Structure 1
Amino acid sequence: MLAKKKSSGTQNRRVTRIDPPALEEAIVAAQGLTDDVESQIEIAAQLMGMSEDEVRPAVLKAAVPPPVRRPVHLADRYSMTERNEGPKVVVVERKRPRLVMPR
Protein backbone atom coordinates (compact mmCIF):
# COMPACT_ATOMS: atom_id res chain seq x y z
CA MET A 1 0.00 0.00 0.00
CA LEU A 2 1.09 3.49 -0.71
CA ALA A 3 0.77 6.20 1.90
CA LYS A 4 -1.40 9.12 0.98
CA LYS A 5 0.43 12.33 0.36
CA LYS A 6 -0.88 15.40 2.07
CA SER A 7 -1.55 18.29 -0.21
CA SER A 8 0.99 21.09 -0.02
CA GLY A 9 -1.79 23.57 0.81
CA THR A 10 -2.43 22.05 4.22
CA GLN A 11 1.26 21.83 5.10
CA ASN A 12 2.02 25.46 4.29
CA ARG A 13 -0.97 26.93 6.05
CA ARG A 14 0.12 29.35 8.75
CA VAL A 15 -2.03 30.48 11.59
CA THR A 16 -1.59 34.05 12.77
CA ARG A 17 -2.81 34.76 16.24
CA ILE A 18 -3.67 38.36 17.05
CA ASP A 19 -3.90 39.17 20.73
CA PRO A 20 -4.90 42.59 22.02
CA PRO A 21 -2.19 44.22 24.11
CA ALA A 22 -2.22 43.96 27.85
CA LEU A 23 -3.45 47.07 29.65
CA GLU A 24 0.06 47.94 30.84
CA GLU A 25 1.41 47.64 27.29
CA ALA A 26 -1.35 49.89 25.95
CA ILE A 27 -0.63 52.50 28.63
CA VAL A 28 3.11 52.49 27.90
CA ALA A 29 2.39 52.84 24.18
CA ALA A 30 0.05 55.76 24.86
CA GLN A 31 2.64 57.42 27.11
CA GLY A 32 5.18 57.10 24.31
CA LEU A 33 2.86 58.89 21.90
CA THR A 34 1.78 61.85 24.03
CA ASP A 35 2.36 63.55 27.36
CA ASP A 36 -1.30 64.60 27.76
CA VAL A 37 -3.01 62.25 30.24
CA GLU A 38 -6.47 62.60 28.65
CA SER A 39 -5.03 61.64 25.27
CA GLN A 40 -3.26 58.69 26.88
CA ILE A 41 -6.58 57.50 28.29
CA GLU A 42 -8.21 57.75 24.87
CA ILE A 43 -5.38 55.95 23.06
CA ALA A 44 -5.14 53.14 25.62
CA ALA A 45 -8.91 52.64 25.54
CA GLN A 46 -8.88 52.38 21.74
CA LEU A 47 -5.97 49.92 21.77
CA MET A 48 -7.70 47.73 24.33
CA GLY A 49 -11.20 48.02 22.89
CA MET A 50 -12.45 49.19 26.27
CA SER A 51 -14.27 52.29 27.43
CA GLU A 52 -12.31 55.27 28.67
CA ASP A 53 -13.93 54.97 32.11
CA GLU A 54 -12.49 51.45 32.51
CA VAL A 55 -8.98 52.53 31.48
CA ARG A 56 -8.83 55.88 33.32
CA PRO A 57 -7.85 54.56 36.82
CA ALA A 58 -4.94 52.51 35.46
CA VAL A 59 -3.65 55.39 33.31
CA LEU A 60 -3.85 57.85 36.20
CA LYS A 61 -2.04 55.38 38.44
CA ALA A 62 0.75 54.96 35.86
CA ALA A 63 0.98 58.67 35.03
CA VAL A 64 4.50 60.02 35.27
CA PRO A 65 4.67 63.20 37.36
CA PRO A 66 6.47 66.12 35.70
CA PRO A 67 10.09 66.47 36.80
CA VAL A 68 10.70 68.90 39.63
CA ARG A 69 13.11 71.60 38.63
CA ARG A 70 15.41 72.71 41.39
CA PRO A 71 17.21 76.04 41.33
CA VAL A 72 20.79 76.01 40.13
CA HIS A 73 23.31 77.26 42.64
CA LEU A 74 26.71 78.65 41.83
CA ALA A 75 28.28 75.77 43.75
CA ASP A 76 26.68 73.32 41.28
CA ARG A 77 28.36 74.93 38.29
CA TYR A 78 31.87 74.13 37.29
CA SER A 79 34.07 74.99 34.39
CA MET A 80 37.36 73.83 33.04
CA THR A 81 39.05 77.13 32.33
CA GLU A 82 42.54 75.68 32.82
CA ARG A 83 42.36 73.78 29.55
CA ASN A 84 43.17 75.88 26.53
CA GLU A 85 43.61 72.92 24.21
CA GLY A 86 40.23 73.21 22.54
CA PRO A 87 37.78 70.41 21.93
CA LYS A 88 39.04 66.86 21.65
CA VAL A 89 38.39 65.05 18.39
CA VAL A 90 38.07 61.29 18.21
CA VAL A 91 38.12 59.55 14.85
CA VAL A 92 36.99 55.95 14.53
CA GLU A 93 37.79 54.14 11.32
CA ARG A 94 36.67 50.69 10.34
CA LYS A 95 39.31 48.60 8.68
CA ARG A 96 38.07 45.87 6.42
CA PRO A 97 39.60 42.44 6.85
CA ARG A 98 42.27 41.57 4.34
CA LEU A 99 40.99 39.10 1.77
CA VAL A 100 43.39 36.46 0.58
CA MET A 101 42.74 35.23 -2.95
CA PRO A 102 43.38 31.52 -3.53
CA ARG A 103 45.95 30.76 -6.22
Structure 2
Amino acid sequence: MLAKKKPSETQNRRVTRVDLPAVEEAIAAAQGLTDDVESQIEIAAQLMGMSEDEVRPEVLKAAVPAAVRRPMRLADRFSMPERNEGPKVVVVERKRPRLVMPR
Protein backbone atom coordinates (compact mmCIF):
# COMPACT_ATOMS: atom_id res chain seq x y z
CA MET A 1 0.00 0.00 0.00
CA LEU A 2 1.15 3.47 -0.77
CA ALA A 3 0.96 6.17 1.85
CA LYS A 4 -1.36 9.02 1.06
CA LYS A 5 0.36 12.26 0.27
CA LYS A 6 -0.43 15.19 2.48
CA PRO A 7 -1.53 18.28 0.59
CA SER A 8 1.03 21.01 0.70
CA GLU A 9 0.42 24.02 2.92
CA THR A 10 0.14 26.31 -0.09
CA GLN A 11 -2.91 24.39 -1.28
CA ASN A 12 -4.62 24.68 2.11
CA ARG A 13 -3.89 28.38 2.58
CA ARG A 14 -6.93 30.59 2.28
CA VAL A 15 -6.53 33.92 0.62
CA THR A 16 -8.48 36.88 1.95
CA ARG A 17 -8.92 39.74 -0.47
CA VAL A 18 -9.29 43.18 1.04
CA ASP A 19 -10.82 45.86 -1.16
CA LEU A 20 -11.06 49.45 -0.05
CA PRO A 21 -14.64 50.77 0.01
CA ALA A 22 -15.97 52.98 -2.74
CA VAL A 23 -16.54 56.66 -1.99
CA GLU A 24 -20.29 56.18 -1.53
CA GLU A 25 -19.79 53.23 0.81
CA ALA A 26 -17.26 55.06 2.96
CA ILE A 27 -19.47 58.15 3.19
CA ALA A 28 -22.53 56.07 4.09
CA ALA A 29 -20.55 54.32 6.82
CA ALA A 30 -19.27 57.63 8.18
CA GLN A 31 -22.77 59.13 8.16
CA GLY A 32 -24.04 56.11 10.07
CA LEU A 33 -21.41 56.65 12.77
CA THR A 34 -21.72 60.39 13.36
CA ASP A 35 -23.72 63.47 12.40
CA ASP A 36 -20.70 65.79 12.54
CA VAL A 37 -19.53 66.53 8.96
CA GLU A 38 -15.88 67.03 9.91
CA SER A 39 -15.84 63.66 11.66
CA GLN A 40 -17.49 62.09 8.62
CA ILE A 41 -14.71 63.48 6.41
CA GLU A 42 -12.07 62.05 8.73
CA ILE A 43 -13.72 58.62 8.96
CA ALA A 44 -14.33 58.33 5.21
CA ALA A 45 -10.75 59.36 4.45
CA GLN A 46 -9.37 56.75 6.84
CA LEU A 47 -11.61 54.02 5.43
CA MET A 48 -10.52 54.76 1.88
CA GLY A 49 -6.86 55.44 2.63
CA MET A 50 -7.07 58.90 1.06
CA SER A 51 -6.39 62.38 2.34
CA GLU A 52 -9.18 64.42 3.91
CA ASP A 53 -8.83 67.08 1.21
CA GLU A 54 -9.69 64.52 -1.49
CA VAL A 55 -12.75 63.23 0.35
CA ARG A 56 -14.12 66.56 1.64
CA PRO A 57 -16.02 67.62 -1.56
CA GLU A 58 -17.79 64.27 -1.83
CA VAL A 59 -18.83 64.26 1.83
CA LEU A 60 -20.11 67.83 1.59
CA LYS A 61 -22.19 66.90 -1.48
CA ALA A 62 -23.69 63.94 0.37
CA ALA A 63 -24.31 65.86 3.61
CA VAL A 64 -27.96 66.18 4.56
CA PRO A 65 -28.99 69.43 6.28
CA ALA A 66 -30.06 68.97 9.91
CA ALA A 67 -33.47 70.55 9.17
CA VAL A 68 -34.26 67.81 6.65
CA ARG A 69 -32.93 64.94 8.75
CA ARG A 70 -35.48 63.21 10.95
CA PRO A 71 -34.70 60.63 13.58
CA MET A 72 -35.27 57.08 12.42
CA ARG A 73 -37.82 55.13 14.32
CA LEU A 74 -37.10 51.60 15.36
CA ALA A 75 -39.82 50.41 12.97
CA ASP A 76 -38.02 52.11 10.06
CA ARG A 77 -34.82 50.23 10.77
CA PHE A 78 -36.19 46.77 11.45
CA SER A 79 -39.24 45.34 9.79
CA MET A 80 -40.54 41.95 10.70
CA PRO A 81 -43.04 40.09 8.55
CA GLU A 82 -46.41 39.56 10.15
CA ARG A 83 -47.02 36.02 11.33
CA ASN A 84 -50.20 34.50 12.58
CA GLU A 85 -48.46 31.67 14.36
CA GLY A 86 -48.94 33.13 17.82
CA PRO A 87 -46.51 34.89 20.12
CA LYS A 88 -42.83 34.26 19.67
CA VAL A 89 -41.10 32.55 22.52
CA VAL A 90 -37.42 33.08 23.19
CA VAL A 91 -35.76 30.88 25.77
CA VAL A 92 -32.41 31.89 27.22
CA GLU A 93 -30.69 29.34 29.38
CA ARG A 94 -27.63 29.94 31.45
CA LYS A 95 -25.31 27.02 31.81
CA ARG A 96 -23.26 27.11 34.93
CA PRO A 97 -19.56 26.44 34.55
CA ARG A 98 -18.48 22.98 35.54
CA LEU A 99 -16.70 23.03 38.87
CA VAL A 100 -13.79 20.67 39.33
CA MET A 101 -13.26 19.48 42.87
CA PRO A 102 -9.63 19.05 43.93
CA ARG A 103 -8.78 15.51 45.02
**Structure 1 unaligned regions, length at least 5:** 69-91, 96-103
RMSD: 2.6
Question: Take 1:53 and 1:34, find their aligned partners in 2: how far apart are those partners?
Answer: 19
Normalised to the residue count of structure 1, the TM-score between the two structures is 0.58
Residue 16 of structure 1 aligns with which residue? 16
Identity %: 81
Tell me the TM-score normalised to structure 2 length.
0.58
**2:34 paired residue number:** 34
- Displacement of 1:13 in angstroms is 1.5
Which residue of structure 1 aligns with residue 58 of structure 2? 58
**Which has more radius of gyration?**
1
Runs of at least 5 residues in structure 2 that lack an aligned partner in the other structure: 69-85, 90-103
Deviation at 1:8, TM superposition (A): 4.3
Q: Which 4+ stretches in 1 moved above 3 angstroms?
A: none
